């Protein structure tokens, strides 16, 4: 796979006014989401729900790619059309979550490291054959008393770099995702400092592992105060802090940056992205790769009537895609 092909895919993922829908919840996470709306997490219900999302009419107007879970990449519509064909026909690039989740980091209470490197080369080879063209790996960093430690940041950056190098070897664009969790009562300055050191460490590890940034996408959390912090920040403060932090730590050769929503309200996730895109010149496109902020409203509607409400739920998916697509251009209005 040439760097030109990887770069072309990466650029298409962050095409102007488009972003990514993250529907890569693992079996455990989708069960939690389904439990919240009283839907049983059977394979057929998961398939039907993802079919509703992926067959949303005109979704490709605002969505460039979708991140799937292993099970979903292999599934089809009820009429037998593979989801990957539905996506390619709609101009939506298939992506795949390839990490195997977080596990306690031995010797470091309350910290986690993401696993999944063993056997990854063979899995990536298969995912490419199944149609995936980008792959996501999520590292999780918690802020708390005396954490994150340098060891935790290094361990996660190292794993991200090894996964990213393997992806490029196998022809997939790595979407490297260090998520700094919103949990806690820390202030916005603490989140800024942690995000900066995590990103600097990550890009240093990518460099050491010969990862080509031109064929890489960064997916990251915004710089926010902890959700239990006494003092919350305005939309403008979050946008300015996030943009400054990214400019200080992300090389300009990267084709684009997308954000996760991480438990923000739908409106905040859109407003923050929009505000950043109104703040003048930046070295890379800034867009979205939201999971909850793209799906939560539609999930509720669909759950009320899983067959009868498909079109209504899809209208909500399209509306959220449109709002976030406009925010990616700095053209959203409430
Ligand atoms: P949220 O937008 O719900 O945080 O999910 C995005 C994601 O893919 C997290 O890994």
Instruction: Ligand 1 pocket test: pick from 99, 268, 290 the residue with the most ligand atoms within 8 Å of its Cβ.
Output: 290
59 CA distance to ligand 1 middle (Å): 19
Start-to-end CA span in the chain (Å)? 43
Mean pLDDT of 2-13: 97
Q: Is the CB of 192 under 6 A from ligand 1?
A: no
Catalytic residue (one of 25, 51, 111, 177): 177
Q: Is the CB of 260 under 6 A from ligand 1?
A: yes
Q: All domains of the chain, ordered by start, with CATH?
A: 3-329 (3.20.20.70)
User: Which residue is closest in CA terms to ligand 1's atom 10?
Assistant: 138
pLDDT tens figures, 274-301: 999 999 899 999 999 999 999 999 999 9
Mean pLDDT of 237-245: 98
Q: Ligand 1, closest atom to CA 295?
A: 3
Tell me, what's the pLDDT at 157? 99
Instruction: Ligand 1 pocket test: pick from 13, 20, 22 the residue with the most ligand atoms within 8 Å of its Cβ.
Output: 22
21 CA distance to ligand 1 middle (Å): 9
Q: Is the pLDDT of residue 1 over 70?
A: no
Mean pLDDT, the chain, whole residue set: 98
Mean pLDDT of 209-219: 98
Active site residue 219: yes
DSSP letter assigned to residue 103: E
**For the chain, what is the total number of helices (H) and then of strands (E)?**
12, 10
**Long-range pairs for 245-249 at CB < 8 Å and ≥24 separation?**
245/192, 245/195, 245/196, 245/199, 246/199, 246/220, 246/282, 246/286, 247/282, 247/283, 248/196, 249/195, 249/196, 249/199, 249/200, 249/203
Q: Is the CB of 22 under 6 A from ligand 1?
A: yes
Mean pLDDT of 229-234: 97
Confidence tier at 192 by pLDDT (50, 70, 90): very high
Confidence tier at 134 by pLDDT (50, 70, 90): very high
pTM for this prediction: 0.98
Mean pLDDT of 142-156: 98
Instruction: Ligand 1 pocket test: pick from 63, 265, 289, 321 the residue with the most ligand atoms within 8 Å of its Cβ.
Output: 289
pLDDT tens figures, 95-120: 999 999 999 999 999 999 999 999 99
User: Which residue is closest in CA terms to ligand 1's atom 8?
Assistant: 22
Interface ipTM? 0.92
Active site residue 177: yes
Rounded CA-CA distance 137/179 in Å is 10
Percent of the chain with pLDDT over 90: 99
Tell me, what's the pLDDT at 334? 86
pLDDT tens figures, 35-72: 999 999 999 999 999 999 999 999 999 999 999 999 99
34 CA distance to ligand 1 middle (Å): 16
């Amino acid at each position: 796979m040439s760097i030109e092909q990887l770069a072309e895919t990466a650029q298409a993922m962050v095409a102007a006014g488009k972003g990514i829908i993250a529907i890569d919840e693992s079996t455990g996470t989708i069960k939690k989401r389904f439990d919240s709306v009283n839907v049983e997490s059977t394979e057929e219900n998961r398939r039907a729900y993802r079919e509703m999302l992926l067959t949303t009419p005109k979704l490709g107007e605002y969505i460039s790619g979708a991140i799937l879970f292993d099970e979903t990449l292999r599934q089809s519509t009820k009429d037998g059309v593979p989801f990957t064909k539905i996506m390619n026909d709609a101009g939506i690039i298939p992506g795949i979550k390839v990490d195997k989740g977080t596990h306690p980091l031995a010797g470091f209470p309350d910290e986690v490291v993401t696993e999944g490197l063993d056997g990854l080369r063979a899995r990536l080879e298969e995912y490419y054959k199944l149609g995936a063209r980008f792959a996501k790996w999520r590292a999780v960093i918690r802020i708390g008393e005396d954490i994150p430690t340098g060891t935790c940041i290094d361990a996660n950056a190292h794993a991200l770099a090894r996964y990213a190098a393997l992806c490029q070897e196998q022809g997939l664009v790595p979407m490297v995702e260090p998520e700094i969790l919103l949990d806690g009562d820390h202030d916005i300055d603490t989140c800024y400092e942690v995000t900066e050191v995590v990103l600097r460490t990550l890009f240093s590890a990518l460099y050491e592992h010969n990862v080509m940034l031109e064929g890489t996408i960064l997916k990251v959390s915004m710089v926010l105060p902890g959700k239990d912090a006494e003092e919350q920040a305005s939309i403008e403060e979050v946008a300015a802090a996030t943009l400054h932090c990214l400019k200080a730590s992300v090389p300009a050769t990267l084709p684009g940056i997308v954000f996760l929503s991480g438990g923000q309200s739908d409106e905040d996730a859109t407003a923050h992205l929009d505000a950043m895109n109104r703040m003048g010149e930046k070295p890379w496109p800034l867009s979205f790769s939201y999971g909850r902020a793209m799906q939560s409203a539609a999930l509720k509607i669909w759950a009320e009537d899983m067959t009868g409400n498909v079109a209504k739920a899809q209208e909500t998916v399209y509306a959220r895609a449109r709002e976030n697509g406009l925010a990616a251009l700095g053209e959203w209005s409430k």
